[in-house]
Amino acid sequence: MTEPTLHHPRYTRSNRYDPMWVTANQMGPNVLWLTESLMEVMTIEPGMKVLDLGCGKAASSIFLAREFGAQVWATDLWIPADENRQRIEEAGLTELITAVHAEAHTLPFEAGFFDAIVSIDAYQYFGTADLYLGYVLDFLKPGGQIGAVMPATTRELGEEIPVTLEQFWEWDFCCWHTPEWWRTHWAKTRKVTVEHAELIEDMWRDWLQFNDFIAPHVEGWWIDEVASTRDFLMTDQGTEIGFSRVVATKR
Ligand X SMILES: C[S@@+](CC[C@H](N)C(=O)[O-])C[C@H]1O[C@@H](n2cnc3c(N)ncnc32)[C@H](O)[C@@H]1O
CA gap 62, 55 in Å, rounded: 10
> Considering beta carbons, is residue 1 or 171 the nearer one to ligand X?
171
The answer to whether residue 79 forms part of the interface with ligand X (CB under 6 A) is yes
Binder of ligand X out of 109, 125, 173, 222 (CB under 6 A): 125
Say if strands 140-153 and 114-120 run parallel, antiparallel, or are unpaired: parallel
Choices 74-82, 128-136, 161-169, 197-205; region in contact with ligand X by CB under 6 A: 74-82
Structural element, H or E, at residue 163: helix 163-166
- Give the bridge partners for 53, in sequence order: 75
Q: Does 218 bind ligand X (CB under 6 A)?
A: no
Q: Does 22 bind ligand X (CB under 6 A)?
A: no
Least distance to ligand X from the beta carbon of 103, Å?
A: 5
Residue nearest to ligand X (CB): 56
Distance CA 101, CA 1 (A): 43
**What residue type is assigned to position 40 of the chain?**
E
List strands edge to edge, sheet with 192-199: 97-101, 71-76, 49-53, 114-120, 140-153, 241-250, 192-199
Q: How far is the CB of 26 from ligand X (least distance, A)?
A: 6
Question: Does residue 33 interact with ligand X by CB under 6 A?
Answer: no
Pick the piece of the chain touching ligand X (CB under 6 A) from 16-24, 87-95, 114-122, 221-229: 114-122
CA nearest neighbour of 66 among 38, 40, 37, 36: 36
Task: Report the distance separating Cα 179 and Cα 181, nearest Å.
Answer: 5
Residues 94-113 that bind ligand X (CB under 6 A): 103-104
206 lines the binding site for ligand X (CB under 6 A): no
Residue 121 binds ligand X, judged by CB under 6 A: yes
Nearer to ligand X, 151 or 179 (CB): 151
Among 32, 39, 42, 55, interactor with ligand X by CB under 6 A: 55
28 binds ligand X (CB under 6 A): yes
Cα distance between residue 79 and residue 54, in whole Å: 9
* Shortest reach from residue 207's CB to ligand X, in Å: 12
Q: SS3 of 99, please? A: strand
Minimum distance from residue 235 beta carbon to ligand X (Å): 21
**What are the phi and psi torsion angles at 178 (to 5°)?**
-75, 160
Chain residues binding ligand X by CB under 6 A are 27-28, 31, 54-56, 60, 76-79, 103-104, 120-122, 125-126
